[in-house]
Amino acid sequence: MALSKKDHSWRSLQQDAQLTKARCKGFLSKFFILVAVSSLLVIAFKWCAHFHKPLLCPQPLRKIIFTSDGVLSENWLRRHVSIPLGKDLMHIDLGYIKTQLETYSQVASAVITRKFPDTLAIEIKELKPVAKLFVSTQGKRCVRLISAEGKLFTPVAYTKYGIKTLPTLSDVTVQIIQEGQILKFNRIYTLWVELMRQHPDVYATIVQISLKNFDPLLEEKWLQVDLKTSHDQHLIFNCTDVNAQMRKLKGVLYALTSSQRSQLLRIDLSLTNPIVEFR
């Protein structure tokens, strides 16, 4: 039986051998290239590790990056919070620093992170005051600020002028305060924001917010506030259906002459038909 020229001739066997040798040479070339590249990478890594070792290893704390969305500053931080400068960064107790910061009721939250090799990043969120409240503590009259959420906190780093410009909350009973927060204060704040937005001229004159008839433990109709202005005028609002009452206020103010406004004593907007009283 004759051999196939295609598969078994001596020429085809010689060609296969040449192809095999070519493949081996190509494989060896790629192997040596791979080894050379790997060696260069290892050398480069060792070089970087040698010259940049200080950047890869923790060092003594030398720098603090402090950010806050309120009035607290880095100077305040250094005076009131114990931070061990010079101590190895990895040995600093971040939880202890966080606890120190959050003992101040003005600090809503604190996040502390290590930034290698020698930096500590501290970011805090503060409660923002919208009103103030005077309380008696050990026979002394002290001020507490109130956030938009109704949380009471002791002011830190606020100026006397800044506190003075805030309206005063009065006639606040202990029954409406739970866990350091005024119940349903968000209703008052909604009213406050709408007054600021729709009647900024009136809003700017408000100096006191009386909660004498504000009882969050009863029905909604008892969520009533008395806003006293710097002109000794009173605006009575119910904290439900705020926008409807704002429209009533706009109508009343529009109907009054400048002389009548100067003699205005009280506008009760909590009723279906507002009652207007003059001096």
Give 145-187 pLDDT, tens digit per residue. 999 999 999 999 999 999 999 999 999 999 999 999 999 999 9
Which CATH architecture fits 129-278? 3-Layer(aba) Sandwich (3.40)
CATH class of 63-126: alpha beta
Q: Rounded to two decimals, what is the model's pTM?
A: 0.77
In tens, the pLDDT along 115-125 reads 999 999 999 99
Residue 99 main-chain phi, psi, to 5 deg: -65, -40
Q: What is the pLDDT of residue 139?
A: 86
> What does the pLDDT average to over 231-240?
95
Q: What is the pLDDT of residue 137?
A: 85
Q: What are the residue boundaries of the structural domains of the chain, listed by start?
A: 63-126, 129-278
Mean model confidence pLDDT for the chain: 87
Domain 63-126 shares a fold with domain 129-278: no
CA 55 to chain centre: 31
Task: Report d(CA 59, CA 77) in Å as an integer.
Answer: 22
In tens, the pLDDT along 17-71 reads 555 656 656 666 666 677 666 666 666 556 554 444 555 577 999 999 999 999 9
Q: Which long-range contacts (CB under 8 A, 24 or more apart) does 190-194 make?
A: 190/239, 190/242, 191/225, 191/237, 191/239, 191/242, 192/130, 194/242, 194/243, 194/246
Calculate Rg over the CA atoms of the chain.
37
Describe the strand order of the beta sheet including 168-170 as a list of residue ranges. 152-153, 140-147, 129-137, 168-170, 206-210, 224-229, 234-238, 264-268, 275-278
